[in-house]
Amino acid sequence: MFLAFRVPSPLATHTMRHTYRAWLDAAGTPIAVEQKLMRHADIRTTMNIYGDVVTDEMSQAHAKVVQMVLPKR
């Protein structure tokens, strides 16, 4: 099923690409596949420009480390 929706003007194409990359990361997609899906000629573009996404997995890993260092009392 396809849902049509209007994207608000502040939500630029670049923002959508970052979101797409975050979803690919969350799905466990290998970086080389992400590069091809995003049509980047150079994998460094995929990693450097779109690599600043914080996924749920990253947040959970960070929370675990913080709990190890600062356990609840």
Spatial distance between the Cα atoms of 21 and 35, rounded to a whole number of angstroms: 9
* Exposure on the CB side of residue 35, measured as CA atoms within 13 A: 12
What pLDDT does residue 10 have?
A: 63
Give the pLDDT score at 21.
86
Q: Are 30 and 42 in contact (CB under 8 A)?
A: no
**pLDDT at residue number 7:** 56
Q: What pLDDT does 38 receive?
A: 92
pLDDT of residue 48: 84
**Positions of the chain with pLDDT lower than 50, given as ranges:** none
pTM metric for this prediction:
0.57
* 48: nearest Cα among 21, 28, 13: 21
Determine phi and psi for 41, rounding to 5 degrees: -70, -35
Max CA pair span of the chain:
51
In this prediction, residue 8 carries a pLDDT of 58
